[in-house]
Amino acid sequence: MFKRHSLVNSRLRFLFCLLAISASVHAAEPIELVRGEAPRHPQQPQLSVDGSGGVHVVYGVHDVVCYQSSNDGGKTFSKPTELTFAHAMSLGMRRGPRIAATDKAICITAIGGKQGKGRDGDVLAMSSLDGGKTWTGPVQVNDVDDAAREGLHAMAAGPKGEICCVWLDLRNKATEIAASTSLDGGKTWSKNVLAYKSPDGSVCECCHPSVAFDERGRIYVQWRNSLGGNRDIYVTTSADGGKKFANATKLGTGTWPLKACPMDGGAIAVTGNQVSSVWRRDKSLFLVLSGKQAEQPLGVGEQPWIASTKDGPFVIWLIKRGEQAYLLTPDQKTPVPLANRAGDPVIAASPKGTGPVVVAWESRDGKNYTILCQTVSE
């Protein structure tokens, strides 16, 4: 009898542990922001959490950029504001609009052109200084026409309201990493700067870049390189507001020999001066924290995204596009399932490292697509 009761009690303790994990991770239920049917369906959500904890979401529906916001930590959201400014907008496979929110401004970017589909394309920016009530623009970020025609870019806000945008740039035919900054919420942009050029000609041609700021205003740019037959993740930094960038550094100790593009660029995030990066190598995912060269294996997966908090990084990824999404939090050693039938998830936290941590993703059921958003930490 004693052994049987001990076994039952052990199972109950294990069940209570699982329930506690679930409660700590799933701080709220997913909220459906929008639903639509292919081919004009919502795609590619992106998130920004401002310094006050306001949540900002953007996604694309054909040639329309939709913006929604939440002032209660992601419990409720405003109705979509529709912005039409990027004809033949790049969407899908991590292409799509981007958003950065500062204490005074909201900036949305998207890549579009007259023809689209990689034949032309510019990074176009819209900005709002009244919380999204009115918008100005668009203005062109890349200063050579059609240089952003690959359709992949990233954007982040800095501690003093500065914004940096980076993209795969084709002005020199070979794929390079270009950058531009704005000091007025996205209304005007600096002269473009070459952040990185591969000695072998091109960086990885179809993997999205990432960008983040630390508390001092230092800019961190991440991308997948193509160097010596390997497709590894590299990072460069700028200590002068994006005027020039340092020599690039490879992340991790392993390498990935590959003759093709995996279309998976990983993500980088910073809280204070703690830099966190997550990326895929072959079929596995890895996490690296600043000050540590060795990578931490996370398991099998793809399309990872990361948010940084004072407690540590939150990481979300997919087993495979359209399948299970997993979430790893700073206080858990193993990931937990977050969503089924998920696509291209993103996660964001406040640059101050406190407040809500929010996830958004695509979900597909036949021809029906939804954009879902969930607060995973309050």
Paired with 276 in beta bridges are 269, 289
Provide the domain limits for residue 56: 31-377
Average of per-residue pLDDT across 54-63: 97
Give the torsion sign (CA, 245, 246, 247, 253): negative
For 91-120, the pLDDT digits (tens) are: 999 999 999 999 999 999 999 999 998 999
Could you give the number of structural domains in the chain? 1
The CA-atom distances, in angstroms, between 324 and each of 140, 338, 378 are 37, 7, 23
Instruction: Tell me the CATH number at 55.
Output: 2.120.10.10
Tokens of 56: 């900002």
The closest of 343, 357, 330, 198 to 276, measured between CA atoms, is 330
Instruction: List pLDDT tens digits, range 237-274.
Output: 999 999 999 999 999 999 999 999 999 999 999 998 89
pLDDT reported for residue 293? 66
Residue 13 lies in a domain: no
Query: What's the token pair of residue 339?
Result: 């969503």
Is residue 68 domain-resident? Answer: yes
How far apart, in whole angstroms, are the C-alpha atoms of residue 70 and residue 74?
A: 5
For residue 215, being part of any structural domain is answered with yes
Tell whether the model's pLDDT for residue 362 goes beyond 90. Answer: yes
C-alpha dihedral over 110, 115, 121, 123, to 10 degrees? -30
Q: In the 8-state DSSP scheme, what is residue 19?
A: H
303 belongs to a structural domain: yes
Q: What is the pTM of this model?
A: 0.92
Whether 2 has a pLDDT exceeding 70, the answer reads no
| H or E segment to which residue 14 belongs | helix 2-25
Cα distance between residue 30 and residue 26, in whole Å = 9
| Cα→Cα distances 180→58, 240, 326, Å | 21, 12, 33
27 falls in which pLDDT band (50, 70, 90)?
low
Q: Look over the chain and give the mean of its residue pLDDT values, rounded to a whole number.
A: 92
**79-92 residue pLDDT tens:** 999 999 999 999 99
Per the CB < 8 A criterion, the answer to whether 98 and 111 are in contact is no
- Report angle CA 107, 111, 112 to the nearest 5 degrees: 125
pLDDT, tens only, 309-360: 999 999 999 999 999 999 999 999 899 999 999 999 999 999 888 889 999 9
23 — phi, psi (to 5°)? -65, -40
Measured CA distances, 102 to 79, 148, 350 (Å): 21, 25, 10
- The pLDDT tens digits of the residues spanning 177-214 come to 999 999 999 999 999 999 999 999 999 999 999 999 99
Reported as a pLDDT band with limits 50, 70 and 90, residue 17 is very low
| Strand pairing report for 122-128 and 136-140 | antiparallel
Domain presence at residue 225: yes
